[in-house]
Amino acid sequence: MKQKVATFSGEEIYAYTIENGKGMSLTALNFGAAITEINVPDKNGLTENVVINYQDISNYEVNPYYLGIVVGRTSGRTKEGLLKFEDQAIQVEKNDGNNHLHGGIKGLAKSIWEVTEKKDSLIFEYVSPDGEDGYPGTVTFKVSYVLSEDNQVTINYWASPDKKTPINLTNHTYFNLSGNKKTDILNHSLKLASPSFYELDKESMPVRVVKVDDHPTFDFRKGKLVKDVVDGGYEQTDIVGGGIDHPFLLDDSVEEKITLTDPESGRTLTVKTDDPAVVVYSGNQVKQTPTLNGGTAEKYAGICLETQMPPNETESYLIEKGEVYRKQTVFSFNAK
């Protein structure tokens, strides 16, 4: 189902909805391929939206929080906006202080995607021209959102460049399992199959990999409440505005890499991915405006689980001409 919802700079913006036979549905825009709703049942069978969106759709045109979009061409921060590979140092935009963030000012987040609707999936395609946002090569991007009968949302990423270029995609959906953003996510429990993470400097640039054994605040292997982490008085949570905004390396031997639970609604989200890392972002910079669903906006309104390659490691995510970038992340919803 397709519905026109806005016009941005003369371009028609549509919301596409797919649903399964269990009452679950997903809605996304052709702008940024932004996921605006995922409706899933709670422990009592009440179906509600478990992602954050803007109350006023026009805010997606600027989208200060990158709500729901596909991030690219590269996710996270690149130091000084310098894509260093082989003997090259390609300067891309510095759109986060002295650094490059989430593919630049436009990026895939503010691109209009061609959408193909199928019964159980939405397929998005965008051809980014050579030099867009400063990146080399023309790249064809395809992303699909697939909704299964057992309440799974699978995101498939596919990209093919005509020149060697870095590609590192993710999705920037903020989950809030309370349903229709009744509460913030501080009472959600987060479990990560992650033995180590990247310490950040004051500009949020990753500096070194450290073991969670030596940093117990970030040991999520047995699960812990988000509020117990953000209140920790820990230097690494303080420098990102009081919360989590860090790349975690995922344990290859564990299938379910991430589990997010809201004890109140009984909803659980588990995540499987073939990416080796996840940037967990606890919404530390969300301000009071623009307002979100539920009519308010606040710090910790939602939590992003950005599966990806560790950011700022350009050499590790170079895709050759003729090579195909393929990634998959599966979000499974349950309630009890």
State the residues that interact with ligand FUC by CB under 6 A: 65-66, 204, 245, 279, 281, 285, 304, 306
CA torsion sign for 124, 130, 131, 135 is positive
Indicate the SS3 state at residue 156: strand
Kindly state the smallest distance separating residue 165's Cβ from ligand FUC, in Å: 21
Kindly state the smallest distance separating residue 47's Cβ from ligand FUC, in Å: 28
CA distance 245 to 239: 9
Nearer to ligand FUC, 104 or 161 (CB): 104
CA distance 228 to 234: 11
Nearer to ligand FUC, 143 or 279 (CB): 279
Q: What is the number of the residue whose Cβ is closest to ligand FUC?
A: 281
The vertex-257 CA angle with 282 and 79, nearest 5°, equals 55
Kindly state the smallest distance separating residue 106's Cβ from ligand FUC, in Å: 15
Kindly state the smallest distance separating residue 158's Cβ from ligand FUC, in Å: 22
Tokens 């033995």 belong to which residue? 195
Judge contact between 171 and 275, C-beta under 8 A: no
Nearer to ligand FUC, 40 or 304 (CB): 304
| Of 197, 216, 193, residue with least CA distance to 271 | 193
Nearer to ligand FUC, 65 or 113 (CB): 65
CA distance 268 to 18: 21
Kindly state the smallest distance separating residue 66's Cβ from ligand FUC, in Å: 5
Nearer to ligand FUC, 304 or 309 (CB): 304
